[in-house]
């Protein structure tokens, strides 16, 4: 808690200093060095709260669900998020960029979440990517098949911010233990 207060105080003092400098010079700009320093302080503050920002790909055929998920992720400190509307688009994006986590809906046209999971687990580049599956699926057999397909986490719709936060922390802890 003390560390967090110190970080917030440093950020406040630095912003006040930068603003006073720019006002006295008549400049309304914040230089890239100042901007980078502020971003570094924000990351330090997030790490003090136990958050590790991740680059996350959100896949859902419903744009409203993607928007809700992206909003929740940003509120939890994860600002590097991309979105895809189906599994085919997601696979192209996964091969074009590196992601720390994939959050995907189960039921989608073209390539559903389970098929996407299978392709990821059989891909040499992607096979270790954590996958959080989201669905309103209540068929026990289908959920068990996802678990046997090595899904990293599963959330039932509807879910709230706290449920998402717990899943993200669990996935981060699992990945740290695998790396250690």
Same domain, 40 and 61: no
Same domain, 167 and 78: yes
Query: Which two three-digit tokens encode residue 160?
Result: 């709230």
User: pLDDT over 70 for what percent of the chain?
Assistant: 68
Task: Please provide the size of the chain in residues.
Answer: 180
Same domain, 7 and 90: no
Same domain, 61 and 142: yes
User: pLDDT over 90 for what percent of the chain?
Assistant: 53
Same domain, 24 and 39: yes
Task: Answer whether 121's CB lies under 8 Å from 146's CB.
Answer: no
Whichever domain contains 83, its CATH number is 3.40.50.2300
Q: How confident is the model over 119-167, as pLDDT tens digits?
A: 999 999 999 999 999 998 777 887 787 777 789 999 999 999 999 999 9
Q: How confident is the model over 104-127, as pLDDT tens digits?
A: 999 999 999 999 999 999 999 999
Same domain, 172 and 138: yes
Task: Answer whether 44's CB lies under 8 Å from 4's CB.
Answer: no
Same domain, 83 and 113: yes
More confident residue, 61 or 32: 61
Task: Give residue 40's pLDDT band: very low, low, confident or very high (50, 70, 90).
Answer: very low
pTM, two decimal places = 0.70
pLDDT at position 78, please?
Answer: 93
Cα dihedral: 108, 94, 159, 169 (round 10): 160
Task: Answer whether 161's CB lies under 8 Å from 72's CB.
Answer: yes
Same domain, 136 and 117: yes
Q: Which domain holds residue 27?
A: 2-48
Task: Residue 39: count other Cβ atoms within 10 Å of its Cβ.
Answer: 11
Same domain, 18 and 65: no
The per-residue pLDDT of the chain, averaged, comes to 79
139: left (phi over 0), alpha (psi -120 to 50) or beta: beta
pLDDT at position 149, please?
Answer: 72
Same domain, 8 and 71: no
Same domain, 120 and 159: yes
Same domain, 19 and 106: no
């Amino acid at each position: 808690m003390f560390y967090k207060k110190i970080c917030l105080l440093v950020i406040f003092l630095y912003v006040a200093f930068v603003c006073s400098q720019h006002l006295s010079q008549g400049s309304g700009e914040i230089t890239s060095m100042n901007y980078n320093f502020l971003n570094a302080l924000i990351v330090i503050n997030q790490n003090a709260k136990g958050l590790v920002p991740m680059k996350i790909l959100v896949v859902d055929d419903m744009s409203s669900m993607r928007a809700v998920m992206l909003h929740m992720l940003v509120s939890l400190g994860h600002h590097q998020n991309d979105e895809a509307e189906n599994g085919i688009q997601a696979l192209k994006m996964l091969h074009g960029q590196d992601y720390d986590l994939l959050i995907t809906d189960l039921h989608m046209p073209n390539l559903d979440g389970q098929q996407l999971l299978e392709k990821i687990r059989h891909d040499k580049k992607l096979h270790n990517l954590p996958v959080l599956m989201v669905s309103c699926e209540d068929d026990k057999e289908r959920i068990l098949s996802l678990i046997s397909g090595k899904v990293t986490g599963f959330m039932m719709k509807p879910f709230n911010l706290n449920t998402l936060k717990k899943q993200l922390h669990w996935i981060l802890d699992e990945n740290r233990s695998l790396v250690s």
